[in-house]
Amino acid sequence: MSNLPNARAFALRGAPPLDLRPIGLAMLALLLLFACIPAALAHEFKVGDLQIEHPWSRATPPGAKVAGGYFTVVNKGSAADRLLSISSDISDKAELHEMGVKDGVMTMRPVSGGLEIPAGGKVALKPGAYHLMFTGLKRQPKQGEKFPATLTFEKAGSVKIEFAVEGMGETGDMDMDHDE
């Protein structure tokens, strides 16, 4: 009966070599490193003459009903095309929005008639400009996951893409590095 305190003392003395804190820090550093990869590794999709680069969205707070969607469409063809619609299981609807200033107030409104992608040109959907809005979210997109969506273009047709979900504070600045 009396050797229990001794056993405990032994266990305590034996503890320092098993200290896992340095490993914990190393793991944290690794996790932080990997957390940056979705933004750093661009992913892209092709349909016809169009290339859809790095579709991304943002994690949303609990209860949020809308989420943004961003990507760049490059048109390598010799004719203009038009992004007509977007659909995804993550929300009831997905709309194409445009930001603008009306009476000194920033507003966003749905783009009617689709978004033209000029021949040989590109259009960037990004925060503060043209963007997708997933409205009536069925669940919250979580940082680090990818969710599928379908884009439909007038000429190139439909293409399945995946949105990489980034952190709530992500502004898309990392993406600007790719611009000429």
Contact set with Cu ion (CB under 5 A): 97, 108, 133
Q: Which is nearer to Cu ion, 42 or 108 (CB)?
A: 108
- Rounded Cα distance, 74 and 52, in Å: 6
Looking at beta carbons only, is 70 or 147 nearer to Cu ion? 70
Question: How far is Cα 145 from Cα 69, in angstroms, rounded to an integer?
Answer: 14
Given a contact cutoff of 8 angstroms between Cβ atoms, the answer to whether 149 and 137 are in contact is no
* Rounded least distance, CB 133 to Cu ion, Å: 4
Q: Least distance (Å) from Cu ion to the CB of residue 130?
A: 9
Q: How far is the CB of 107 from Cu ion (least distance, A)?
A: 10
Residue 125 to residue 63: CA distance in whole angstroms: 25
- 132 closest CA partner among 53, 62, 56, 39: 56
Q: Rank residues 80 and 108 by Cβ distance to Cu ion and give the closer one.
A: 108
Contacts of 68 (CB under 8 A, 6+ apart): 57, 58, 127, 131, 132, 133, 134
Indicate the residue whose CB is closest to Cu ion: 97
Our CB check for Cu ion shows the closer of 3 and 112 to be 112
Alpha helices in the chain (DSSP H): 4-13, 21-40, 173-176
Q: How far is the CB of 68 from Cu ion (least distance, A)?
A: 7
